[in-house]
Structure 1
Amino acid sequence: MKSNELTQAVRYIWQGHRTWVICTAVLSLMLGLTPAVHLWVAKELVNEVAALLNGGGDYSGAFQLLVVQFLVLLLASLLTKAQELLDKRTELHLDHDLQRAVMEKTTTVPLELYDRPDFQHAIERVHGGQAHRFLTPIKQSMDIVRQLTTLISFLFYLLSVHWTLALVSVVAAFPLLLVLARFGNKRFSLMMFQTPLAREARYLQHLMVKRESAKEVRLFQLRDFLLGVWSDRFRRNQEETYRLFKREKGTLVLTDALTAFFYVGAAGLIIWVARAATITIGDFVALGQAVQGTQSAINQIAGQIARLYESRLYLRDYFRFLDDSVYESRVDRGTKSFPAPLQAGISVERVSFRYPGSERPALQDVSLQIQPGERIAIVGDNGSGKTTLVKCLMGLYQVQTGCIRVDGVPMQDIAEEQLFHNITVIFQDFMRYDFTVRQNITIGQLEAAADKERLETVAANAGVESFVARFAQGYDTHLGRSFQEGEDLSGGQWQKIALARALFSEGQLLILDEPTAALDPKAEMEVFEHFDHLTRGKTAVFISHRMAAARMADRIIVMRDGQICEMGTHEQLIALEGEYKRMYTMQAQWYR
C-alpha cells in the first residue's frame, strides 16, 4: 500500500464529510469533560449532605447541586444522541459512496479477473457494510480523545491527592491492550480464512431461496442434500468463530481479575491516604470514583486502540481491492474511432490467450480474416475455444500474444466506448432483466429509447411484436415476477427479446454466442431464420453446436483444442472428411 490505511480513510472522509469530523471532535471533547464535572458535583453534594446530617449546612445548596447534577446528566444525554444522529446520517451517505466505488471497480476490471477465485472472494468481503468500517476508526479515535480528556481530568485530581493513586490506576491497562490487539488480529485472519467457505454457504442458501432454482430443487428432491451441505459449511464457520470467541473471553477474565486486583490496591491506598491526611467524606467517595473512572477510561482507550488496529486490517483489504496494482481497473486503450463503415474487415493475427491460473492455453496461435459483410460460423466441441475467441473479438479479453485489427487499426487503440458501441452481442447466458419490454430491448442504447419507430421496427423483425401485442400495457409491460406482478416469457420469447436488443444497438459487428443452446431445434431454427434474414449484408459471427445452423454462414470455422483446424464452406468442409464432417454426421444420426 502506498500510505497507511487509516490515513487514507481519514483523508477520504475528510474530503466528503469534514463537517461530521469537526462536530464529532467538538462533541467528544465536551463528552470527555462531563464525567469530571459530574464527579465534582457528586463530591460537593456528598459533603453538603454530610454537613446536613451533622446539623449544619444549607438545604438550598444541596438542591442547587442536585439541579446542576440533573443538567449535567441531561447535557451528556443530549450530546450522545446528537453524536448518534450525526453518525447515522454520515454512515448512510458514506455507504452509498463506498458501495459505488466497489461497483465502479467491478464493472471496469478486465473480464478475465472474474475467472480468479481470489477476486471473487475479495468482492464478497468488500461489497457491503464498508461505511461502518470506515467510520469506526474515526469514531474510535474520537472516543480515545473523549476518554483521554476524562482520564487527564481524573489523573489531575488523583495526583493532587497522592501520585501512587494515579500510578496504580494506569498500570492495569497494558495487559488488556496486548490481549485485545492480539485477538483483533486473529479475528481478521479468521475472516480471511472463512471467506471461501462463507461464499459457498451463501451460494447454497441462494439455491434454496431463489425463484430460478426452486423448480429443480423440488423436482430433483435436492432439499436434504443442499440443506446438509449448507449446514456443514455454515456450522464449520460458526464453530471456528465460537472457538476464537471462547478463547478471547477466557483471556479477558484474567485481565479483568488483574484490573480488580489493582482496584483493590487503589482502594487500600485511599484508606491509607484518608488516615494520613484530613479529607472529607465527599473527597473519599470522589477518590474511589476517580480511581474506578480512571481504570475504566484506560480500559476503554486500550480497547479502542486494539480495535483501531483491527479496523486498519479491514481498511487495508478494502483499499487493496481498489488498488490498480492488485486488480487492474481498466485496460489501457487508445482514443481512435471504430472504422465506419468497415473497409478491410477484422483480422486475427496469431492470437493466443490463457486464463488466469491455467497452464493450458485456451487459444493458441489463431489467425483469421473476417471480410466486411461476411457471415462466419464458429463450430467445435465444448472447450475448443469458440467462446474465448469471440470474447477476444469483442475486446472483453485482452490477448496475451498476437493482435486483432479492425481495418488495420489494433483493437487496443480503439476507444472503449467506440468499440462496444459498434459490436452487438447475444450471449448463451444473455440477461433477462426484470424491467419493461421497452427497457429490455433498448438497454444497450437507452438514449434512443424514446424512438418509437425504431423500437417497433426491430421488435417486428425479431418476432417480438407478435406476443407483446397481447399485453395490456404493450412495450411498458414489466417482465418477470421477482419485484412486481409481470409477464413470464418462454425461452423462445426471451430469445426474441435478446435478438431485438441486439438489432436495436445497430452495431457494425453482430455476434451470437450460442444464444439458442437451451432451445429445442425447431425454436432454434426459428431464431436463426430471423438471424439469417436480418444479417444479410452485415458482418456477423455466430456460434452453434448444431451444424445445420452453421450452413447459413458464408464461411465456417472449425476449432479444436484452442486452434483453427478447418475453414471453408459447408460443401468444402464435407469434402475434406475431417472434423466438421465428423460432427455433422454425428448430429445427422439424431434425425434418422
Structure 2
Amino acid sequence: MFLMIVQSFIKLFVFLWAHARLLLTLLVCLTIMIGLLPVATLWLSKEMINEVAKIIQLQVGDYRYAFFLLSLQFLIAMATSVLLNIQQYLNGKLENVLELAAQSLVLQKVESVPLFYFDIPDFYNHLERVHLNVGARFLSPFTILLEIVRASITIFSFLLFLLTVHWSLVILSLIAAIPVFFVQIRFGSINYWLRYGLTPLIRDIQYTSFLLKDRQSAKEIRLFGLGQMLLKRWSTSMTHQFTETLKVLRKQQATEVGLDGFTALLYFGTAGIIIWLIRTTSMQIGEFVAIGQAVQGTQGLTNQLSNQSAKIFGEILYINDFFNFIEYEHPEKDASDEGSALFPAPLQQGIFIKGLSFTYVNTTNPVLRDIHLHIRPGEKIAIVGENGSGKSTLVKCVMGLYPISQGDISFDGLSISQIKPDDLRKNMTVIFQDFIKYAYTLQENIGFGDTERINDLKWMQEIAATSGVDQIVSKLPDGYQTYLSRYLQEGTDLSGGQWQKIALARALFRNSDIVILDEPTAALDPMTELSVYQLVRNLTENKTTLFVSHRMAAAKMADRIIVMKDGQLVESGTHDELISLNKEYAQMYHAQAQWYATPVESR
C-alpha cells in the first residue's frame, strides 16, 4: 500500500509539473507565506496585550508603540486576505488546466482502445469512476498537500513557542492528532471502496435518468407508458445509494463526536497546566493569552493536519485508479496495433481469410469458427444469414476492429497484423446498421467520411449528386451549413430515408478501395432496402464491396453470396447456384419471398 501511495504521488507530481509548473511554484510560495502569518499575528497579539496592560495598569506604556503594533496587525490581516484570495484564484485556474489535461487523457484513451474493450462491462465501470470532476480530483491531493505544508509551518512555529514555556504543553497539543489520523484514514478508505462498489448502480441511475430526459427515447417511453416504471427504478436505486452512503456517514459522525470529546479533555488538561504555570512563574497577561491561543491553534491545526493527511489517502486511491485506467492494457490486445506496413492499395490479389476464429472477451463460445474465404479485387460479396450468425463480427474482423483469436486475414498476402491500423481503416469505408446521426451541419455529416477533405465542397457536391443528397440540400435553409436536428442549434429534422442517403454519402466521400455495408438498411422496408443496395451497386462499380444483410432479395445483385450459420461459412455461390442447391440459402430466400409477393401470388 505504501509503495502504491508513493508511486501515485510521483505520477501525480509529474503530471502536475508537466501541465502547470508556474502555477505550482506560485502556490507553494503563497502557502509558505500564509503559513508564517499566524505566528506573526500571535506575536503581535502578545506584544499588543502586554503594551495595553502597561498603559491601563501602570500608566507607563508607549502609545506610539501600541499604535505601531496595531498598524502591523491591520497590515497582516490585509495581507492574509489578499494572499488567500490570490491562492483561491490560482486554485481555480489550476483546476481548469488540470480538468482539460486529465479529460484529454481519458478521451484519448477511450478513442484509442480496441473496439472489443467496449464489450467489457468493467471497462465502462472504470471509465465511470475516473471521468467525473477529474480536474478537481487531481487538484485535491495537491491543495491538501499545500494545506499540510502550511499547517506544518504554523504548528512548528507554535510548538517552538510552547516549548519555551513548558514541554508538557507540546505533548498535550500533539497527542490528539494520533487517533484522528487513523480514524480519518479508515473512513477515507471505506468511502472510496463504497463508491467503487456502487459504480454499476450509479451507471444504472445515470442511464435511467438519461432515458427519461432524452428526446429520442421520450416518444417510446410515452407510447408504452414506461415513465412511472422508470421513475420507480431510478428512485429505488437512488434510495439504495443514499442508504449505503448514510450508513457510513452515521458511523463517521459518531466517531467524530468521540474524537471531539477526547480533544476537549486534552485541552482541559492543558488549561490546568497553564493555571499551574501562572501560580509558579511570573507571567504577563500577553503571555497567558498567547499560550492559550498557541495551544488551541496547535490542537486545531494538528487535528486538521490529521484530517487532511487521511483525506489525501482517499484521494490518492482515486489518482491511482485514474492512472490504472490510462495505463490499462487488456491481455487480448488488438494485434493490428503492432503493424507498421502500409495498406497495399489498390488491391491486386484481394482479401484472403484463412482459418479465422473469433471469441468475445471473457466468453468461451466462439462467434466465428474456421472461416476460409477469398474476395477478389472489385468483387461484390453479399454476406447473409440469420441474426447472430456472425456476419457483423466477420466484417469487424476484416476492418481490424476485433482481434483475431485464430487464423489470419491478409490483403494481397500482407497480414492484417502487419498493417498500420490507421492506414488499414483509411482504405475502407463502412455504413453500420446503427450509423451515427451527428447533430452537426450537413457538411460535417458528410465530411466526417474523410476529415482531410472536409472543406472540399466540389468533391462533396459530386458525392451529393450521385447519392441523391443534392435533393436534400436544395430544401435546407442554409444548404451544407444547416444543422441536422434541433439538439444543438435551430436546425432541420430529417426522415430515416434522408439520413440513409447522408450516411451513404459519408461513406462514399472517403473514396476508399473497400466498401462495407453492415446492415445499414435494416430499419427500412424490403423494397426501399433493395433500391438502396442497387444505388450502392452502381456507385461502387470498381470497388471491392461487402453487403451484410439477413434479407435475401438484396443479395441477388451480388457477384457471390456467402451464407453464414452459427459462426461458420456454410454456403458460397451465386443466387442461382445456391437456389439450385436447395439448402440454407434457398430455405431463407423462399421464407422471405412472401414479403415481395402480391396477395394473389402468395396463394
Is TM more than 0.5 here? yes
Matches within 5 A, 1:288-437: 288-325=292-329, 331-437=336-442
Is the CA contact 1:180–1:303 (under 8 Å) kept in the aligned structure 2? yes
CA contact (8 A) 1:47 1:282 kept: yes
Q: Are 2:23 and 1:4 aligned?
A: no
SS in 2 for 1:142: helix
The 8 Å contact of residues 40 and 286 in structure 1, kept in 2 or not, is answered as: yes
Name which of 241, 247, 264 aligns with 1:243: 247
Report the residue type matching 2:75 in the other structure.
L
What's the CA shift for 1:93? 1.2
User: How many equivalent residue pairs?
Assistant: 592
Q: Is the 8 A contact 1:105 1:329 kept in 2?
A: no
For residue 496 of structure 1, the aligned residue among 470, 479, 501 is 501
Match of residue 71 from structure 1: 75
Q: Supply the AA of the counterpart residue of 1:41.
A: L
- The residue number in structure 1 matching 2:20 is 17
- Structure-1 separation of matches of 2:334 and 2:593: 47
Q: State which of 181, 196, 202 in structure 2 corresponds to 1:192.
A: 196
Question: SS where residue 352 of structure 1 aligns?
Answer: strand
Whole-angstrom distance in 1 between the partners of 2:348 and 2:299: 81
Distance, in Å, in 1 between the alignment partners of 2:119 and 2:280 is 76
Amino acid at match of 1:14: W
Q: Which moved more, 1:388-397 or 1:237-246?
A: 237-246
Paired with 2:486 and 2:189, the residues of 1 have a C-alpha distance of 45
CA contact (8 A) 2:336 2:418 kept: no
Which is worse superposed, 331-340 or 358-367? 331-340
Structure 2 residue 230 is the aligned partner of structure 1 residue 226: yes
* One-letter identity of the residue aligned with 2:18: Q
Matched, 1:166 2:170: yes
- Asked whether 1:485 is paired with 2:490, we answer yes
Paired residue type of 1:11:
V
Q: Among residues 104, 107, 123, which one is paired with 1:119 in the alignment?
A: 123
Residue identity matched to 2:139: L
1:564 maps onto 2:569 in alignment: yes
Give the superposition deviation at 1:324. 4.0
Structure 1 residue runs without a partner (length 5+): none
Alignment of 1:133-148 (within 5 A): 133-148=137-152
Larger deviation, residues 33-42 vs 529-538: 529-538
CA distance in 2 between counterparts of 1:128 and 1:243 reads 24
Bigger drift between 15-24 and 457-466 goes to 15-24
Partner residue in 1 for 2:88:
84
Which residue does 2:455 correspond to in 1?
Answer: 450
Indicate the SS of the match to 1:478: coil
Cα separation, 2, equivalents of 1:473 and 1:17: 43
User: Helix, strand or coil: the match of 1:485?
Assistant: coil
Normalising by structure 2, we get a TM-score of: 0.96
* Partners of 1:330 and 1:136 in 2: CA distance: 38
Contact 2:334 2:403 in 1 (8 A): no
Q: CA deviation at 1:396?
A: 0.7
* DSSP 3-state at the match of 2:337: coil
* 2:223 is the alignment partner of 1:213: no
Give the alignment of 1:515-534 within 5 angstroms.
515-534=520-539
Residues 90-120 of structure 1 deviation map (CA, whole Å, 9 limit, x = unaligned):
1111111111111111111110010000001
Structure 1 length normalisation: TM-score? Answer: 0.98
1:186-237 per-residue CA deviation (whole Å, 9 max, x = no partner) reads 0110011010000011000000101111111111111101101111111111
What runs of 5+ residues in structure 2 fail to find an aligned partner?
none
CA distance in 1, matches of 2:439, 2:45: 64
Q: CA deviation at 1:329?
A: 8.7
CA distance in 1, matches of 2:156, 2:286: 20
Give the counterpart letter for 2:524 in structure 1: L
Shift of 1:409: 0.4
Cα displacement string for residues 240-286 of structure 1 (whole angstroms, at most 9, x for unaligned residues): 11111111111111111101100111111100111110101111111
SS of the equivalent of 2:148 reads: helix
Structure 2 residue aligned with 1:26: 29
Q: Does 1:103 align with 2:81?
A: no
Q: CA deviation at 1:59?
A: 3.0
DSSP-derived class of the 1:434 partner: coil
Mapped to 2, the partners of 1:162 and 1:27 lie a distance apart of 32
1:48 Cα deviation from its structure 2 partner = 2.1
Q: Label 1:8 to 1:542 Cα distance change in 2 as closer, same or farther (>3 A).
A: same
Question: Corresponding residue for 1:53?
Answer: 56
| Alignment check: 8 A CA contact 1:172 1:295 kept | yes
Give the secondary-structure state (helix, strand or coil) at the position aligned to 1:107. helix
1:178 to partner: Cα distance: 0.4
Q: Any conservation in 2 of the 1:43–1:282 contact (CA below 8 Å)?
A: yes
CA distance in 1: counterparts of 2:322 and 2:521, whole angstroms: 40
1:427-468 Cα shifts (integer Å, max 9, x gaps): 000011111111111112122123232111111111111121
Letter aligned with residue 368 of structure 1: L
Amino acid across the alignment from 2:155: L
Amino acid aligned to 2:183: V
Matches of 2:330 and 2:351 in 1, distance apart?
Answer: 33
Instruction: Report what 1:37 is aligned to.
Output: 40
CA shift digits 1:56-81 (9 cap, x unpaired): 12333332222211111111111111
Gap change, CA 1:150 and 1:114, over 3 Å in 2: same
CA distance in 1, matches of 2:569, 2:54: 103
Contact preservation (8 Å) 1:109, 1:330:
no
* Counterpart-to-counterpart distance in 2, 1:331 and 1:138: 39
Aligned to 1:157: 161
Secondary structure, aligned partner of 1:161: coil
Equivalent position to 1:550, from 547, 550, 555: 555
Contact 2:336–2:420, Cα closer than 8 Å, also in 1:
no
State the AA in 2 paired with 1:159. L
Q: Supply the AA of the counterpart residue of 1:215.
A: K
Cα distance change on mapping 1:125 and 1:144 into 2, 3 Å: same
Contact 2:439 2:486 (C-alpha < 8 Å) held by counterparts: yes
Look up the equivalent residue of 1:49 and give its one-letter code: V
1:510 to 499, 506, 515: 515
In structure 2, the partner of 1:177 is 181
- One-letter amino acid of the counterpart of residue 495, structure 2: S
Query: Helix, strand or coil for the counterpart of 1:424?
Result: strand
CA contact (8 A) 1:109 1:331 kept: no
RMSD of aligned C-alpha atoms? 1.5
The farther-off stretch of 463-472 and 313-322 is 463-472
Aligned equivalents of 1:331, 1:482: Cα separation in 2:
37
Contact 1:320 1:326 in 2 (8 A): no
Q: Which residue of 1 aligns with 2:136?
A: 132
C-alpha separation in 1, matches of 2:590 and 2:155: 87
Partner deviation per Cα, 1:269-305 (whole Å, 9 max, x = no partner): 1001111101011111111110000101111111111
